Amino acid sequence: MSHQGKVETQVTASASPASASPSTEAPDGTALRLLDVLEGVCRLGPVTLSDLVTRLEIPRGAVWRALDALRQKGWVRMRHGDKAFELCAPIAGVFTHAHVARPEVEALMPVFTRLAESGPVHVDLGLFTARGEFRVVETTRKQGYSDQTLSMTDEDIAIAAQLHLLPADLVRHLTAFMERAGAEERQVISSGDHARTIRRLRQQGVVWHDDGSAASLARRGWPGVSLRVELWRYSRSRAESLRELVTEIVATEGE
């Protein structure tokens, strides 16, 4: 089995985790109040100023200033009769067409972060975005975001994602994948070799690269989703530490 890309031996300072970390400064109070008021109008609207103040427990003046800013933006309007505030069409259009993080990414981010902070590694999170189409949707690699679909038979991270799929779901994905697969990939599936590989790996829940430099983890709670961690600076001691960490994560899933 192959794993995507060669192990990188050099990393520039700009690619270090520290340089990519979000700011640790306290968020601006005015900005937070603006978001709270916008959310309040979304959830409660049409809603009066007095009701917003009561529900949000924010000073009346601060709520009014936030509403005024939202009105100038064209996202909120005040009705003439009862002076209640409601959303305007432009903001509905903004969110209707917005890109939204997948729930799987949010749910597995603690594991993703733990792996990413474990040492000189790259971490990828992949899932099935459509039937038979497996993609990486989150990664620590700057150039790792693409719309490329990965092979269900050759890529370790895609194989790991299949380990806990229900049999019927696995068949559906493989059937769809075979429509665009190469001759060798179709042969691996039709011969039964791929099914035997899945059965062999299912119990351990991990697909290891031969030299221990990379591992792809299945998640029982999220069938069809997997994470891959890969050392970009290899040493035997780092590979041993990686194996210990991955083994612990797999063993403690669900605790």
What would the pLDDT profile of 108-120 be if each residue is shown by its tens digit? 999 999 999 999 9
User: Sorting pLDDT into bands at 50, 70 and 90, what band is 254?
Assistant: low
Q: Does domain 29-96 have CATH number 1.10.10.10?
A: yes
Q: Is 0.85 topped by the overall pTM?
A: no
Residue showing tokens 């490329």: 148
**Residues of each domain in the chain carrying CATH 1.10.10.10:** 29-96
**What CA–CA distances, in Å, run from 5 to 141, 210, 214?**
11, 15, 11
Cα separation of 1 and 157, whole Å?
10
Over range 171-199, report the average pLDDT.
97
Cα separation of 74 and 111, whole Å?
40
Cα separation of 72 and 246, whole Å?
51
Sequence-ordered list of residues with C-beta below 8 angstroms from that of 199, at least 6 positions apart, any chain = none
Cα separation of 216 and 99, whole Å?
27
| Percent of all residues in the chain with a pLDDT value above 90, rounded to a whole number | 77
What integer pLDDT is reported at residue 255 of this predicted model? 63
**Residues of each domain in the chain carrying CATH 3.30.450.40:** 101-251
What integer pLDDT is reported at residue 17 of this predicted model? 42
What integer pLDDT is reported at residue 171 of this predicted model? 97
pLDDT of residue 23 exceeding 70, the answer is no
State the amino acid at position 140 in one-letter form.
T
Cα separation of 138 and 104, whole Å?
10
pLDDT of residue 91 exceeding 60, the answer is yes
What integer pLDDT is reported at residue 13 of this predicted model? 36
- In CATH, which of 3.40.605.10, 3.20.20.70, 3.40.50.360, 3.30.450.40 is domain 101-251? 3.30.450.40
DSSP track, 229-252: EEESS--HHHHHHHHHHHHHHHHT
Query: Who has greater pLDDT, 92 or 3?
Result: 92
Query: Who has greater pLDDT, 226 or 27?
Result: 226
pLDDT of residue 80 exceeding 80, the answer is yes
pLDDT of residue 184 exceeding 90, the answer is yes
